């Protein structure tokens, strides 16, 4: 036999021979505690409402959300990220339901905390897009542009009402300049130093958000390219990262996950705080659609994509498969 370098003496395939061997030498492992479940709760419905663009995902009622939270605890995942969907008639230019103590998101936070206590991290989306009649993540000025600093005032109020409702973690997701510092100060002003801030540090203006717009009954007019990041850019994310950490972020996140694994790896290599990634609606829906057609092995694809996100550096993954994936791993 001809010798090629160290072959035939060296054979990497020896470490792939059996499931037990592959399990022993695996460099990346998934665990249920890695996962956070994004969940939608809709005001004024008596039954969960299926989301057509996200098969298997629903807009919860208050009661079904509590059941979902209990299932998340039983599955061993770490958290649930709540998104509130108010009645259409309650939306306005300022996103008033977002700061109303009786707004659907605040009510849902209280419901889930009453159901699971501290057994599950209750996390809240801190953004105005679900509550504004124009669908943008902030307040608009007279020219119809998102007013960064006026929006920060709304975010400060949102942080306080979400903390009062019982959120363990708030997730400012609007990509406003200065949002982390403003939210941290607002929480500290009411003595809620215990509430953590998960910064949506690198949030790109992605085509993969499409199904999410249905999930939150978005009223978006136009696009979000003036505040979400350009998919072409890398250094921009690292600058956002430095600013978020300086302003007091406890954790940082990259969103979307799959198309931005290079960004995720750069962020993970650069920081000593926990790093999360959000496997967003479009990523979910593509796999579900392909699996429904019989084109891919659904369960393998789910675990493979989650492993890739974990391998790239995410300590935690927000995924709509959180509970299902946790059960697969068990």
Q: Does the pLDDT at position 189 exceed 90?
A: yes
User: CA 100 to CA 109: how far, in whole Å?
Assistant: 13
Q: Are 208 and 282 in contact (CB under 8 A)?
A: yes
User: Residue 285 — pLDDT band, cuts 50, 70, 90?
Assistant: very high
Residue 83's closest CA among 35, 45, 132, 42?
A: 42
Establish if 14 belongs to a structural domain. no
Let me know if residue 57 belongs to a domain: yes
Residue 18 lies in a domain: no
Q: Annotated binding residues, as ranges?
A: 213, 224, 240, 281, 320
Q: Structurally, how many domains does the chain consist of?
A: 1
Is residue 185 in a domain? Answer: yes
Read off the CATH number of the domain in which 196 is found.
Answer: 3.20.20.70
| Binding region for 5-aminolevulinate | 213, 224, 281, 320
Structural domain includes residue 1: no
Cβ(283)–Cβ(308) below 8 Å:
no
Within a domain: residue 149?
Answer: yes
pLDDT of residue 7: 84
Cα-Cα-Cα-Cα dihedral sign, residues 159, 162, 167, 173: negative
Count Cα atoms within 13 angstroms, Cβ side, for 31: 8
Q: For position 210, what pLDDT does the model report?
A: 80
Residue with tokens 């890398």: 234
CA end-to-end span of the chain: 45
The model carries a pTM of 0.94
| Residue 157 structural domain | 28-329
Q: Convert the pLDDT of each residue in 62-90 to its tens digit.
A: 999 999 999 999 999 999 999 999 998 99
Token look-up 């199904």 returns: 211
**Percentage of residues of the chain with pLDDT beyond 90:** 86
Identify which of 101, 128, 289 has the alpha carbon closest to the alpha carbon of residue 208: 289
pLDDT given at position 321 = 98
* 175 neighbors 152 (Cβ within 8 angstroms): no
CA 30 – CA 34 distance, rounded (Å): 7
**243 falls within a domain:** yes
Question: Residue 127: inside a domain, yes or no?
Answer: yes
What's the pLDDT at 237? 96
**What pLDDT, on a 0 to 100 scale, did the predictor assign at position 76?**
98
Show binding-site residues for Mg(2+): 240
Q: Is the pLDDT of residue 222 over 80?
A: no
Q: Residues with catalytic annotation?
A: 203, 255
């Amino acid at each position: 036999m001809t010798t090629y370098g160290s072959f035939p003496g060296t054979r990497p395939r020896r470490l792939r021979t059996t499931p037990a061997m592959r399990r022993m030498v695996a460099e990346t492992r998934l665990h249920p505690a890695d996962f956070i479940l994004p969940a939608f709760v809709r005001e004024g419905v008596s039954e969960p409402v299926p989301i057509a663009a996200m098969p298997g995902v629903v807009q919860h009622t208050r009661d079904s959300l509590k059941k979902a939270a209990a299932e998340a605890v039983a599955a061993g995942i770490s958290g649930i990220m709540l998104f509130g969907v108010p009645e259409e008639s309650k939306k306005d230019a300022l996103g008033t339901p977002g700061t109303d103590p009786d707004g659907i998101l605040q009510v849902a936070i209280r419901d889930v905390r009453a159901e699971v206590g501290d057994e599950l991290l209750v996390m809240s989306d801190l953004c105005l897009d679900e509550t504004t009649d124009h669908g943008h993540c902030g307040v608009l000025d007279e020219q119809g542009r998102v007013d960064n600093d006026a929006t920060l005032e709304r975010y400060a109020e949102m942080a306080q009402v979400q903390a009062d409702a019982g959120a363990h973690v708030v997730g400012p997701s609007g990509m406003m300049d200065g949002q982390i510092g403003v939210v941290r100060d607002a929480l500290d002003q009411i003595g809620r130093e215990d509430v953590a801030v998960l910064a949506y540090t690198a949030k790109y203006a992605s085509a993969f958000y499409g199904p999410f717009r249905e999930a939150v009954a978005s009223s978006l007019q136009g696009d979000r390219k003036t505040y979400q990041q350009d998919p072409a850019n890398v250094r921009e994310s690292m600058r956002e990262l430095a600013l978020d950490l300086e302003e007091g972020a406890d954790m940082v996140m990259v969103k979307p996950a799959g198309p931005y694994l290079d960004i995720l790896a750069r962020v993970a290599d650069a920081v000593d705080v926990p790093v999360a990634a959000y496997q967003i609606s479009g990523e979910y829906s593509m796999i579900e659609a392909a699996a429904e057609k019989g084109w891919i092995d659904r369960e393998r694809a789910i675990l493979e994509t989650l492993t890739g996100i974990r391998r790239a550096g995410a300590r935690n993954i927000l995924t709509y498969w959180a509970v299902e994936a946790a059960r697969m791993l068990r």
